[in-house]
Amino acid sequence: MSWIAKVTLAVVLIIGLAVHATGQSDRAQVASDETAEMESDSLSRTRSAVDADDIPNALEGEFDTRDIAAATAWADQLHLADWLGPLAPLALSPFFGVACLSGLSLWGPDWITDNALLGSAGPLRSVPLFAVFSVLAVLTSVPRLSKVSKPFAQAMDQLEAYSVIVILLAIKITASMTAESVGTDEAQLAAEAMPVYTAGIFSFTANALLLVAMTVNMLVINSVKFFFEFLVWLTPFPTVDAIFEVCNKSLCAALMAVYALSPTLATVFNFAILFVAALIFRWAARRVKFYRTMLLDPVLARIWPGFATPDPRGVIVFAQSAVGPFPAKSCLRLRRGDEGWLLTPATPWSPLSWGLGSDGHVLQCGSSPRLVRGWLTHSIHVKADDDDVVLLKVSRRHDMHMTIVLEQCGLIEHTETNESAGDATARDNAIEFA
């Protein structure tokens, strides 16, 4: 099963939970009116999103206490739209998104106080919290306006995203634990009646599934956003970085405004953005790894000499175009085998290795591949039997040990004195990073 299929399956499961929770919420509304007439301590419970006066007075049928408690648990503990709605803007700008949520909780209109995340008793309703994340948003946004400081901002972007994911999960877990600790007998029955899903030897609750979905949602969208920020940084126009950052913050604020207006509508937007991001996630991830390897590996090799030592398993290469079962920009290893030159995934747990044999993909070539040195990257030209040329990109990580690489992989170094050929190599490198 492909990665996109897995993401699609996860989305379907989440939507199914939302539908189920919606159905249970209707029962919870009916039950709240009946229990309010029968029990005097109902006012001490957590405030419901639906007023009891809105429920018809005439009710037919009997309701079991355990069913009522289970429905209340689904309605009051999950709040799927409240938790899934702000994930897209949080992934686009984590610190700025948390500051917006805290501001909505503090100074938002009264009709959003029933929100599970923005309620009056929520953890985001704090002026110091709003001030801290506002300062963090400014400190992390200013370096993105300049190409000189943007590499530092890009490195901090991943830390920013992971920190907000941890904070959001902690808030969700704390809210669930608080609801269980202050609950009544019916609430305890509700906790016991919460459905538990099983998959083989594993079992998990709906809340656990929601936590996983929230994490995957933010990581996918943030990773795709990171790739486009990197491409913007590579462009030679200095003002593009500032324009992109302003557009990012504006989109985040607009999505937060939609979330304040309707968490359900914000959830629909979140799923739409997640679907588009999931379609290009693998494509973007391969290119992020390519650019990171080509730019950072030579620097790390200078700082850490052991990093420049060639690996006996083969040299790391990136396919310029699709090669056999591997798509373009796949991170692979090239080595000399008994049957010729082999391409295998750089990591054994990579999805690229699924369905492949232990020997990987054999390159059908009649002569030894040629290594062509470049200014930014090196290239390996493999001439196939049908006169097609397979182009593999190599970083300058092993420049100090290139003789060992040539011997281990059975390569021939190509020395070109033709000026036009040199110009072509420089042009290819420029296109690669433009």
Q: pTM for this structure?
A: 0.69
pLDDT value of residue 195: 53
Last residue of a domain, one of 275, 291, 307: 291
Let me know how long the chain is: 434
Are both 339 and 284 inside the same structural domain?
no
Are both 248 and 334 inside the same structural domain?
no
Residue 307 covered by a domain: no
Are both 323 and 273 inside the same structural domain?
no
Q: Determine the Cα–Cα distance for residues 99 and 96; give it in Å rounded to an integer.
A: 5
- Terminal CA-to-CA distance of the chain, rounded, Å? 34
Over its length of 434 residues, how does the chain's per-residue pLDDT go in tens digits?
344 445 444 444 444 444 344 344 433 443 444 444 444 444 343 344 445 454 444 444 554 555 544 444 444 444 778 889 999 999 999 999 999 999 998 888 877 767 777 877 677 888 999 999 999 999 988 888 888 888 788 778 878 888 888 888 887 777 666 555 545 444 444 444 455 555 555 555 667 788 888 899 999 999 999 899 888 888 888 889 899 999 999 999 999 999 998 999 999 999 999 999 999 999 999 998 998 899 889 999 989 888 888 888 889 999 998 888 888 999 999 988 777 788 888 887 776 666 565 567 888 777 788 899 888 889 998 887 666 788 999 999 998 888 888 888 888 887 755 444 445 555 555 555 54
Q: What is the CATH number of the domain that holds 336?
A: 2.30.29
Are both 133 and 249 inside the same structural domain?
yes
Q: Determine the Cα–Cα distance for residues 91 and 79; give it in Å rounded to an integer.
A: 20
Last residue of a domain, one of 235, 258, 291: 291
Residue 23 covered by a domain: yes
Are both 256 and 319 inside the same structural domain?
no
Residue 302 covered by a domain: no
Q: To the nearest 10°, the Cα dihedral for 358, 364, 366, 368?
A: -50
Are both 345 and 219 inside the same structural domain?
no
Residue 298 covered by a domain: no
Cα–Cα–Cα angle for 272, 278, 283, rounded to 5 degrees: 140
Residue 171 covered by a domain: yes
Residue 306 covered by a domain: no
Are both 224 and 178 inside the same structural domain?
yes
pLDDT value of residue 425: 54
Are both 112 and 224 inside the same structural domain?
yes
pLDDT value of residue 82: 84
Residue 195 covered by a domain: yes
Contact predicate 6/270, CB 8 Å: no
* Residue numbers of the domain that contains 379: 315-432
Are both 261 and 341 inside the same structural domain?
no
Closest CA to 347 of 368, 316, 375, 369: 316
Q: Determine the Cα–Cα distance for residues 431 and 77; give it in Å rounded to an integer.
A: 52
Q: Determine the Cα–Cα distance for residues 365 and 406; give it in Å rounded to an integer.
A: 17
Closest CA to 212 of 71, 76, 11: 11
Domains contained in the chain, number:
2
Last residue of a domain, one of 257, 291, 325: 291
Are both 36 and 148 inside the same structural domain?
yes
Are both 240 and 342 inside the same structural domain?
no
Closest CA to 159 of 181, 140, 187: 140
Are both 324 and 219 inside the same structural domain?
no
Residue 121 covered by a domain: yes
Closest CA to 382 of 431, 429, 430, 315: 315
